[in-house]
A and B are shown apart, each in its own frame.
Chain A
């Protein structure tokens, strides 16, 4: 608790601290490469035959995913707080890579916790983190995925709380993390709004983003919450809801209290957390950032899911029609667009958050297709 209070105070202070904000803006521009472009996907639009589809290209941010927005923000904050060391959990490896990058940039020691299962699926990212000077620690307990990595990162944080800041990678966990991560990610929506107004002279009709913990979706949605814009969050449907092998918390979960917050959770009747499955490690998580249930229960945001097969098809669809390999996480959002776009008239506009690039998934997709590289 004292660590969370200390963090909350430091974060609130940084919001008003001109020097901190100036430094963050400068790093966003010169290091992360912001603003990322808003790209009109002409061939995909023609192919699907409905709404005009724009892609918010977070895959073009440094390190290849939106995760860097939050990681650089938090590592900068950690440095201002006088911490010598940062730790993080990672599922797909993107947040681990982003945190390792931020730590290298600002000269802090870095340790990343990653489930054994995820290390296998994302061996390339494991090597990337090590190249960036981070220590990658394997988590072999529980389901050996993201939730177990968070458990071990939290255990590390309680042990080394005086010297260490925990860079939580999504809009989850105890306050102030959900708020802080959302704020660092909301640059996505602010840019997208400005860019779509420039390109089309009006707001989009619909926003679509995939939802694991939910940070890229919150990042895109937040700026538009008070506008007349439909929003859809896409969870991982895995092998289908009936199969029990998925990570669709809204479709298959109930309210629980887990890892410091109250939200929807995949759990059994005794309150134990269930194992999850998704083809994409970044969506393979049993709970969801607590602001999403709020947005869902108030009817502001609609949530659906895409199965592994749908995501894999979307992965190939975007690669072939636009020359963009999406991360398998982002491919879930593309799968939803493939379903929805034809339902819209051709003068309607959909903005999709292309949260990351798919290079990290190439080996995994090859394995699924039975191709030896």
Chain B
């Protein structure tokens, strides 16, 4: 079982829900990213998602787009982030997920990427523009390397998609709470509850919800229906604009996710 699987297993036993913060690696620097990961762990994060900066982040809203632009300006690359994970493993064993777009992986070489990421002790991968239909080989290699492949479902996903994504996903399934990009507002119209119970009908894989969770209240509401809560844009924004307030905010999220 991977570190991500173990984290969810432990939470299930304790009746808890996973808190999964997202930060953009290299915004403003990889040194800060290291400090932030350690702070997040200290504040009770269960898993950390590291964004890999890309020039054209299609699934992201303006907050994360800008963070990616800043990281790219610092010459932060997929290669450097893999080396970063390898380095930080001497300080922490918290499960780490890379969220990257497919082209940097393609350019790196899919198999080489999987091997290097696994060697560096990365635990999981989220690639929002790689649909599972096109990922058979990728999934096969990732499985062999003990890397979790996390695919996305959305409110528009049909029964067929749910089955395909459930089959392709390990670690957890990423449920996108809204039709839209990261950092949009959360919608409480019952659709999330409906879809999540439909997903639970076809798989035992845990479900974490992201896109649009920004306040502790949002996080608490989502934690009621899902196995984990992902908070990205709001954290990225605080880290950039008011870094002094980040720790308190993270603590308030942790307390809300039960």
Contacts and interface: CB of A to CB of B under 8 A. Distances in A.
Interface of A: 1-3, 141-142, 147-148, 151, 154-155, 158-162, 256-260, 265, 267, 269-273
Interface size class of chain B, counting residues whose CB lies under 8 Å from the partner chain: 35 or more
Contacts of B58: 151, 154-155, 259
B107 A158 contact: no
A259 B179 CA distance: 18
B78 A147 contact: no
B62 interface: yes
B180 A258 contact: no
A272 B55 contact: yes
A270 B156 contact: no
Contacts of A270: 77-79, 104, 107-108
B129 interface: yes
B56 A147 contact: yes
B203 interface: no
A154 B179 CA distance: 12
B106 A141 contact: no
B161 interface: yes
B105 interface: yes
8 contacts: A2-B161, A3-B156, A155-B180, A161-B156, A257-B106, A265-B103, A269-B107, A273-B103
Contacts of A273: 55-56, 103
Interface of B: 54-59, 61-62, 65-66, 69, 72, 77-79, 102-108, 129, 131, 133, 154, 156-158, 161, 178-181, 184
What 3 A-B pairs are tightest by C-beta distance, nearest first? Answer: A271-B107, A271-B104, A159-B180
B55 A1 contact: no
A273 B108 CA distance: 14
B62 to A, nearest CB: 7
A334 B158 CA distance: 49
B16 to A, nearest CB: 32
A214 to B, nearest CB: 19
Contacts of A259: 56, 58
Given A257-B103, A258-B103, A162 B179 contact: yes
B190 to A, nearest CB: 16
Contacts of B55: 142, 272-273
A154 B181 CA distance: 10
A260 B129 contact: yes
Given A161-B179, A273-B55, 12 more contacts: A1-B133, A1-B161, A3-B156, A141-B66, A155-B61, A257-B103, A257-B106, A258-B103, A267-B103, A270-B104, A271-B54, A272-B103
A158 B181 contact: yes
Contacts of A269: 107
A141 B179 contact: no
